[in-house]
Structure 1
Amino acid sequence: MDNKKPKQKFSIRRAFDNKRFTAIFSVVLAVALWLVVITVIDPNQSRTIPVKVSYDYDATAYKTQGLDLINPPSRTINVQVSGDNSVIGGLTSSDLLVYPDYSTVTGSGDYTLKIEIEKSDSNKKYEITTGNEQYVEVTFDKVVTQKFPIQVSAVGVEPAGGYYMDVPLCSPSEVTLSGPASEMSLIDTVSARVQLTEVRTESVIASVKLTYIDGNGKEVETKNVLSDYDQVEVTIPIYKIKELPVSIVYTGAPAGYDTAQLNAALSQSTIRVAGPAEQIDALSEYTCYVDLTKFKLGESVHCTVSLADGLRNIDSVQDITISFNTVGFITKTVTVTQIDIVNAAAGTTVSVPTERISSVTLIGKESELSALSQDSVIAQVDASPSNISVVRGQQNMPVKIIIPSSESIFATGAYTLLCDITTAAQEEAAQAPAPAA
């Protein structure tokens, strides 16, 4: 027995009895009728397009006057257009120009400008039907650019006992501001202000916002001034203080010479310095040097105070004067005929063609120097290998004047002798047999 159901024939009446079919058919029919209306019966339609106001269009109208727009407001205009739907249906905001009319701008100030609306492409066939005129409020001014040094102020900084605050530093040290002349003219200085609490024993580094100060010392509120830096890094150095005794070191003195007999006196027996604690703690004294080869009776020696990097001269002592009580001292000029060569290396020959050194100046106590014989003065040439720079030939060598019999007389001035020098290497080369022809 065959149980298959017979196929039913399509029936329009039966289809319209189906609610789903009826709903879909109604939508399709409505769209079709709408397309017929807008393309055949009434093709002219209208629509609204939001367009942002362009402040750059026709900007030469005010820029040729040296003016700039100051922080113009962001504004969107709803532009109504009408025309053939096949045309206006594809329009976007780029097809329309919306801009202020700058024709009334004649100088700095606030203006209410009419907004103009145009087609970007005048060949397109549609109409702009926006009704009421619209306006935008803007400000014009001349833009000024100026550099300002940053003035740092530290408030409430309290160094601990034995410490002091050095001049605050700022990085960068200057800032470039740009803005309308009306606002820039109010700014007298640019300040970086640091406010701290608590007692400090170490330097402080802080990130600080810049403030603008007028000529009366009051903060200036600006809306349109731009800066290449909004914040700067301020360092407030907190340094440890130490008082250092001043000592004297003599150079050029003969071995065994008692410098105490010169009775030196310092114009400043101590100096106060400051710096990072680890650097200060390593210091025990400040040294001034006196070169006896340049010493002159009756004259003082000036020691320029020079500190290592990172240290500060708190009392700003730039010069220390060293005076000498040399009452009873005299000078004497002698000719030295005894010349000794010392420390020459084996195989090195050093000879002095000159038999004497004239005009050697000695300083000492009158009681001893007056009785000193020229034969008691020796000119000594140090011929150590490190002092010789030639293999064979002549070289000027420094001379040291010594008085072995005295501990209170020394020579001043610098002396040299021209010496003949032959080294062992040169001697061997001279004695070597000539190569066979």
Structure 2
Amino acid sequence: MKKNNKDNKKSLLDSRNVRILLSVLIAVVIWMIVTLAIDPGSSTSISGVPVDFGYDSDAYAKLGLDMVNSPEARVKVTLKGDGGDLTSVKDAGDMIVYPDFSSVKGAGEYELPLKVRLKSSQLNNLIEATADGKVTVVFDTVEEKTFDVEVEVQNGSISVAEGYVLHGTTAKPGKVTVSGPQGELDKISRIVAPLGYSDGLQDLTESKLATVELQARDADNEPVALQYASMDNTLADVNISVYQTIELPLKVNFINVPSGFDVNTLDYTLSQQHMTVTGRPSVINALTELAVSDFDLANSFALDKAYQLNVELPDGVESVDNITTVTLTFNTEGLTTKTVNVSNLRIINQPANMQIKLNTNRLNNVVLVGPKEELEKLSASAVSAVIDAGSVQITEGTENVAAEIRVPSSSSIFAVGSYSAECSIQVSGAGG
């Protein structure tokens, strides 16, 4: 039995098929050892690897530069080294491809070679990695500038109907900030909202709103193409303000006119009887006349004198001819003055809770103005001084209260100057 076992083992090793199989296995092992561990000349490549333009940015940032373009690139990376090492680099995620910024010395456009760094620091010493091609990168100092938006109305782009005017145009936003390379921003002189021809902007009778694309212009008013710079707003809403025009009469408002006096007896002239104004249609259509500043008849009138009065325009209304004042003159031919002493003093509208006593018995040197014939016939007894206690603020004690000079018998005579009478005032129920 022992002899037979020995014969069986010998026959297995001597089998031709067994020897062939063993030979193949040995050859494969030897090939793998040579290919993966021994052969230093192996190479492989990976395509579509993205270039990381932000990597190693300190190289140009320390020069005060920024990358002003937005480059993108994918390249092929070739790897050389031992076969076993190469198998550790499977795809683009195992490496970083970035520009070589060593040649960047200042602002400008550069064509830069690429570097490759394997993420495994150990493999960087074992594998040679190279990237195909170069990339173009632009550097400059990035700045910001803010410009007012100027509306440019091009010829024929807007027309208004008869009786209306183009009051103005305003843009919203009114300012735009442009950011980008200094060299490009230095070319910009202004930001314009060019308002060209558009349907709906002809024969206007009301204000309109138009959306306009903003444009950068240089000092010669030529468009500046923004290659790298950008605006924080590229569109503006332009308000086209349309006003209506109308001619209106001017009117003087007389104040401090005594009761019974008819201002129509005054013969006066304004240097301008009418004024052409413009404003929003809703405001203009509600006007029938325009007022100049109040004229104080009692305290301002004098014979043979001219007065400059302001034209008081309502909000939103403007003078087409930029007139702000007019001259008021009186025809005083036939008028004269007369000075009288007035003894007829009385109190009206006395409050129920007050007792008012006149301490003044006569007002001296009251100056009257009126037609000469009437004044010559007028006696002092026809003139009265009225203290209206209900129209002034009075307190207990003694005080001077304004007196209005009246001529009941005439509607064309009035007093000039200011007059007052001393009164003793006591509140009812208070001790005296």
Equivalence for 2:137: 138
**235, 243, 246: which is aligned to 1:242?**
246
Equivalence for 1:179: 180
Evaluate the alpha carbon distance shift between residue 101 and residue 413 of structure 1 in structure 2; reply closer, same or farther with a 3 A threshold: farther
Equivalent residue pairs, number: 389
Secondary structure of the corresponding residue to residue 168 of structure 1: strand
CA distance in 2: counterparts of 1:363 and 1:120, whole angstroms: 108
Evaluate the alpha carbon distance shift between residue 74 and residue 125 of structure 1 in structure 2; reply closer, same or farther with a 3 A threshold: closer
Equivalence for 1:291: 296
CA distance in 2: counterparts of 1:359 and 1:51, whole angstroms: 108
One-letter code aligned to 1:221? A
Secondary structure of the corresponding residue to residue 221 of structure 1: coil
- 2:319 matched to 1:320? no
- 2:403 matched to 1:399? yes
CA distance in 2: counterparts of 1:249 and 1:359, whole angstroms: 28
290-299 vs 327-336, which moves further = 327-336
Evaluate the alpha carbon distance shift between residue 45 and residue 65 of structure 1 in structure 2; reply closer, same or farther with a 3 A threshold: closer
- 2:207 matched to 1:196? no
TM-score (norm 2): 0.77
48-57 vs 217-226, which moves further = 48-57
- 2:115 matched to 1:116? yes
CA distance in 2: counterparts of 1:92 and 1:417, whole angstroms: 106
Secondary structure of the corresponding residue to residue 114 of structure 2: strand
394-403 vs 249-258, which moves further = 394-403
What's the CA shift string for 1:222-275, capped at 9, x where partnerless? Answer: 222211211111111222221111122322122332334432111111111223
Equivalence for 1:412: 416
Evaluate the alpha carbon distance shift between residue 297 and residue 47 of structure 1 in structure 2; reply closer, same or farther with a 3 A threshold: same
CA distance in 1: counterparts of 2:424 and 2:119, whole angstroms: 99
What's the CA shift string for 1:360-382, capped at 9, x where partnerless? Answer: 44333344446654444322211
**262, 281, 284: which is aligned to 1:258?**
262
TM-score (norm 1): 0.76
Query: Does the 8 Å contact 2:143/2:179 carry over to 1?
Result: yes
Using the TM superposition, give the Cα deviation of residue 80 of structure 1 relative to its aligned residue in structure 2, in angstroms. Answer: 5.4
- 2:55 matched to 1:54? no
CA distance in 2: counterparts of 1:285 and 1:327, whole angstroms: 28
One-letter code aligned to 1:338? N
One-letter code aligned to 2:254? Y
One-letter code aligned to 2:297? L
Secondary structure of the corresponding residue to residue 59 of structure 2: helix
Evaluate the alpha carbon distance shift between residue 133 and residue 421 of structure 1 in structure 2; reply closer, same or farther with a 3 A threshold: same
After superposition, residues 348-363 of structure 1 pair within 5 angstroms as: 348-358=354-364, 360-363=366-369
Query: Does the 8 Å contact 2:118/2:124 carry over to 1?
Result: no
Evaluate the alpha carbon distance shift between residue 85 and residue 66 of structure 1 in structure 2; reply closer, same or farther with a 3 A threshold: closer
What's the CA shift string for 1:112-159, capped at 9, x where partnerless? Answer: 122222245636777554335542111122334222222212342121
CA distance in 2: counterparts of 1:115 and 1:242, whole angstroms: 74
Equivalence for 2:151: 152
Equivalence for 2:8: none
After superposition, residues 156-171 of structure 1 pair within 5 angstroms as: 156=156, 157-171=158-172
CA distance in 1: counterparts of 2:422 and 2:236, whole angstroms: 64
Query: Does the 8 Å contact 2:250/2:274 carry over to 1?
Result: yes
CA distance in 1: counterparts of 2:295 and 2:108, whole angstroms: 73
Secondary structure of the corresponding residue to residue 182 of structure 1: helix
Secondary structure of the corresponding residue to residue 223 of structure 1: coil
What's the CA shift string for 1:282-305, capped at 9, x where partnerless? Answer: 211112232212223333232322
Identity of aligned residues (%): 32
Query: Does the 8 Å contact 1:47/1:88 carry over to 2?
Result: no
Residue segments in structure 2 that go unaligned for 5+ positions in a row:
1-27
CA distance in 2: counterparts of 1:123 and 1:393, whole angstroms: 108
Equivalence for 2:63: 65
Equivalence for 1:305: 311
RMSD of aligned C-alpha atoms?
3.5
Query: Does the 8 Å contact 1:88/1:126 carry over to 2?
Result: no
Query: Does the 8 Å contact 1:332/1:361 carry over to 2?
Result: yes
CA distance in 2: counterparts of 1:416 and 1:226, whole angstroms: 74
Evaluate the alpha carbon distance shift between residue 119 and residue 359 of structure 1 in structure 2; reply closer, same or farther with a 3 A threshold: farther
Equivalence for 1:6: none
Evaluate the alpha carbon distance shift between residue 388 and residue 249 of structure 1 in structure 2; reply closer, same or farther with a 3 A threshold: closer
One-letter code aligned to 1:130? A
After superposition, residues 82-101 of structure 1 pair within 5 angstroms as: 88=89, 93=93, 96-101=95-100
Using the TM superposition, give the Cα deviation of residue 388 of structure 1 relative to its aligned residue in structure 2, in angstroms. Answer: 4.1
**233, 240, 249: which is aligned to 1:229?**
233
Query: Does the 8 Å contact 1:80/1:128 carry over to 2?
Result: no
One-letter code aligned to 2:288? S
CA distance in 2: counterparts of 1:358 and 1:118, whole angstroms: 111
Equivalence for 2:23: none
Secondary structure of the corresponding residue to residue 60 of structure 2: helix
Evaluate the alpha carbon distance shift between residue 247 and residue 388 of structure 1 in structure 2; reply closer, same or farther with a 3 A threshold: closer
Secondary structure of the corresponding residue to residue 193 of structure 2: strand
One-letter code aligned to 1:74? E
